[in-house]
Amino acid sequence: MRVRRLAPLLTVFALVGCGGNGDVDIEDVEVTGVPQSWLEETAEQWPSSDGFDAAMPVLDADGSCLTFEEGTTIAGVEPTTTGAGFGRLGFSSSDDDYLYVCSIWDRDHYAGDVQLIQVADLATAEAVAADLADDTDLPVQENDVTVVEVAGLQISVLSRWYPTNPQGMRRAVLVDEDRTAVVSLEVNSLDEEDFEAYTDRDVAEDLVAVLARG
Q: Are 180 and 97 in contact (CB under 8 A)?
A: no
Containing structural domain, residue 178:
3-212
Q: How far is CA 34 from the centre of its chain?
A: 11
Q: How many domains does the chain have?
A: 1
Residue 58 has pLDDT above 80, yes or no: yes
For the entire predicted model, the pTM comes to: 0.87
| Segment 107-154, tens digit of pLDDT | 989 999 999 999 999 999 999 999 999 888 888 999 999 999 999 999
| Segment 157-168, tens digit of pLDDT | 999 999 999 999
φ/ψ of 88, rounded to 5, equals -85, 160
Mean pLDDT score, 81-100:
93
The SS3 of residue 169 is strand
| Segment 59-88, tens digit of pLDDT | 998 768 999 998 899 999 999 999 999 999
